[in-house]
Chains A and B, each alone.
Chain A
Amino acid sequence: MKKKYLSYIIAFLIIITLNFIVPRLLPGDPLNAIYGDEVLLKLSAETREYISSTYNLDKPILTQYLLYVTSIFKGNLGYSIYYKKPVIDLLLSYIPYTIILMGLAISISTLLAIVLGIESGWRRGKKLDKFILFLVIFSSSFPSFFIGACFLIVFGVLLNILPFQGARTMYSGLGSFGLSVDFLLHLILPLFSLVFVFLPSSYLLTRNSMISNLKEPYILLARAKGLKDTRIRYKHAGRNSLIPVATQTGLSLGTMIITGTIFIEIVFSYPGMGSLIYNSILNRDYPVIQGSFLFVAVLVLVINFLMDLFYVKLDPRIEYAY
Chain B
Amino acid sequence: MHISLKQNIKKDKNAQVGLIIIIILLLFAVIAPFFTSDPQAFSKLILSEPGTGHYLGTNDLGQDIFSRLLYGLRTSMFVSISVGILATSISVFVGVCSGFIGGIFDTVVMRIIDAFLVMPTIIILILVSAFVKPNILSLVVMISLLHWQGGARIIRGQTLSLRERIHIYSARTFGAKKFYILARHIIPDLGNIIIVSFIQNARSAVFIEAGMAFIGVSSLTAISLGNIMHNAFKFYYLPVWLWWLLPAGILLSLILLSFTFLGNLMEKIIDPRLSNA
Contact = CB atoms under 8 A, between A and B. Distances in A.
Interface of A: 3-4, 6-8, 10-11, 14-15, 18-19, 22-23, 25-26, 33, 137-138, 140-146, 149-150, 152-153, 156-157, 207-208, 211-212, 254-255, 258-259, 262-263, 266-267, 277-278, 281-282, 286, 289-290, 293, 296-297, 300-301, 304-305
Given A281-B130, A289-B127, A300 B211 contact: no
A14 B127 CA distance: 13
Given A10-B112, A11-B115, 16 more contacts: A8-B115, A11-B119, A138-B257, A146-B253, A149-B233, A153-B245, A157-B236, A258-B120, A277-B126, A281-B130, A286-B130, A289-B131, A293-B123, A297-B120, A300-B123, A305-B118
- Describe B's contact surface by its main secondary structure: helix
Nearest to A149: B233
Interface in B205-250: 207, 210-211, 214-217, 226, 229, 233, 236-237, 241, 245, 249
A25 B131 contact: yes
B114 interface: yes
A267 B226 CA distance: 13
A291 B198 CA distance: 34
Contacts of A153: 236, 241, 245
Nearest to A145: B214
Contact of B118 (A7, A22, A150): A7
A138 B277 CA distance: 18
Nearest to A4: B114
A149 B118 contact: no
Interface in B105-119: 110-112, 114-119
Interface in B125-142: 126-128, 130-132
Contact of A301 (B119, B122, B215, B252): B119
8 contacts: A3-B111, A22-B128, A26-B131, A142-B253, A157-B237, A286-B131, A297-B119, A300-B123
B236 A149 contact: yes
Contact of A10 (B111, B210, B245): B111
Given A11-B116, A143-B253, A293-B127, A255 B121 contact: yes
B277 A208 contact: yes
Contacts of A277: 126, 215
Contacts of B260: 137, 140-141
Interface residues of B, number: 45
Interface in B238-277: 241, 245, 249, 252-254, 256-257, 260, 273-274, 276-277
Contacts of A267: 233
A157 B240 CA distance: 13
B27 interface: no
A255 to B, nearest CB: 5
Contacts of B211: 143-145, 259, 263
B124 interface: yes
Contacts of B210: 143
> Which of A137, A143, A156, A259 has most chain B Cβ within 10 Å?
A143
Nearest to B252: A143
A22 B121 CA distance: 15
Contact of A281 (B111, B217, B241, B256): B217
B114 A255 contact: no
Contact of A211 (B120, B233, B277): B277
A11 B210 CA distance: 26
Contacts of B126: 277, 281, 293
Given A143-B210, A281-B217, A15 B132 contact: no
Contacts of B117: 7
A212 to B, nearest CB: 7
A22 B127 contact: yes
Contacts of B119: 11, 14-15, 297, 300-301
Nearest to A305: B118
A26 B215 contact: no
B83 to A, nearest CB: 16
Contacts of B215: 263, 266, 277-278, 281
Interface string B183-209: 000000000000000000000000100
A160 to B, nearest CB: 11
- Interchain residue pairs A-B with the least CB separation, the first 3: A7-B114, A141-B257, A10-B115
B127 A258 contact: no
A255 B257 CA distance: 21
Contact of B120 (A140, A152, A259): A259
A201 to B, nearest CB: 12
A277 B126 CA distance: 9
Contacts of A255: 120-122
A33 B118 contact: no
A138 B260 CA distance: 9
A132 B207 CA distance: 24
> Which of B216, B229, B236 has most chain A Cβ within 10 Å?
B236
A318 to B, nearest CB: 14
